[in-house]
Amino acid sequence: MISINTINIAETIATVWGNVWPYLVAILLFGVIIAIHEFGHFFFAKLFKVKVNEFALGMGPVILKKKIGETQYALRLFPIGGFVSMEGEDSESDDDRAFNKKKPYQRFIIVAAGAILNLILGVIVVGVCLSMQPLVGSRYVHSFHEKATSCNYGLQADDEIIKINGTHIYSSRGIGFNMVRDTDNKLDLTVIRDGKTVELKDVEFKQFEFEGRQYIEQDFYVVGEAPEYVSVLGKQIVSPSWVLKIVKTSMLDSASIVQMVRLSLVDLCTGKYGMKDVSGPIGTISAIADSTAQGPTAKDKLFTALTLLSYITINVGVFNLLPVPALDGGRLFFILIEMIRRKPISPKKEGIIHTVGLVLLLLFMLVVSISDIIKVF
């Protein structure tokens, strides 16, 4: 016989596992983003024969490590980042294979590679998500909600929306984001109608409230395109033209996400958003975990997690390219100055600037992490 205690233990284990596994998946997915980023630096450093002292995933104390050749590969305790330590990266080195001994264009490629791989990963994941959907959205208006107001101010079915308040729209994803950025219920729309560009001023929409803010309600549906199939040896497979459509749309959707990240940073700097709207590694892992746990089926959970993954990896790529000391973009900025001047900046001065930037960045991450913990608990 199975005792009641055994049943209770099994139920407890199942409950704990049900709460824990989304976070394990989230840490794994976040780790993939970091690993891809650091691998970009690592691959091109090795390609240009730079001496790599350590390739690490995570920060803090070392959990596992193994030295292969001249490079130590390490897994560290806190899954909030990673790094590639190259000889002569932050200080002068006489080693012929030091980072600082390489040509500017080689250093530029090594530094930029991490963010570029994040962006490429984002495009790939977006493409996977698009292929999982029954319909792929477009910029064309299909029809309106029952109580829509925008149709009373000039917007018509079959209009192709190309700008909202002067901002270019790359895909259907960009329509929703640029609508919620507006602070009132009126938008200036630029559409293509019957082959001609039409300007629609002060198109009114209804609003809804969420967490104390007013947002515009999108009161129309966009045209969705279904997959196209061809018969090959008696089997139906997606047509080459549809594959090209997915590739093109994934790139346009990714451009929309890049635009979203850029405009969000502008909104943050101008005070439209506050610190409570910013998430660090802890908040990111929590968000992935929440999304992973959502959805009635495993496919729905996977789709939601991959969608969020695409946003995060593109966000990481864009953020790292910002010309901020200690970030990849800050290092790229100094290399560009060196290319223009044809003379390197003093490593000591550059090191001081990056150190100050790193301290400020760590302080910022500390504040964001505390905010994340408060939001989670």
377 residues of the chain, pLDDT tens digit each: 455 555 566 556 656 555 666 667 777 788 889 999 999 999 999 999 999 999 999 888 999 999 999 999 999 988 878 899 999 887 778 889 999 899 999 999 999 999 999 999 999 999 999 999 888 989 999 999 998 999 999 999 999 999 999 999 999 989 988 888 877 889 999 999 999 999 999 999 988 887 777 888 899 999 988 888 888 888 888 889 999 999 999 999 999 999 988 888 887 777 776 666 666 665 565 665 665 566 667 788 788 888 888 988 999 999 999 998 888 999 999 999 999 998 888 777 887 888 888 788 778 777 766 766 666 55
Q: Which of 38, 87, 89, 350 is catalytic?
A: 38
User: Do the bridges between strand 207-210 and strand 52-68 make them parallel or antiparallel, or are there none, so unpaired?
Assistant: unpaired
The answer to whether 38 is a known catalytic residue is yes
Handedness of CA 27, 32, 38, 43 (dihedral sign): positive
Handedness of CA 229, 232, 237, 239 (dihedral sign): negative
For 327, other C-beta atoms within 10 Å of its C-beta total 20
Helices of type H across the chain: 4-47, 104-132, 172-180, 240-269, 281-293, 298-320, 328-341, 347-376
Total residue count of the chain as it appears in this document = 377
- Distance, CA of 39 to CA of 84 (rounded, Å): 8
- Distance, CA of 315 to CA of 249 (rounded, Å): 19
Domains of the chain (ranges; CATH) run 135-225 (2.30.42.10)
* DSSP 3-state of 320: helix
- Distance, CA of 348 to CA of 356 (rounded, Å): 12
What pTM does this model have?
0.83
- Distance, CA of 29 to CA of 364 (rounded, Å): 23
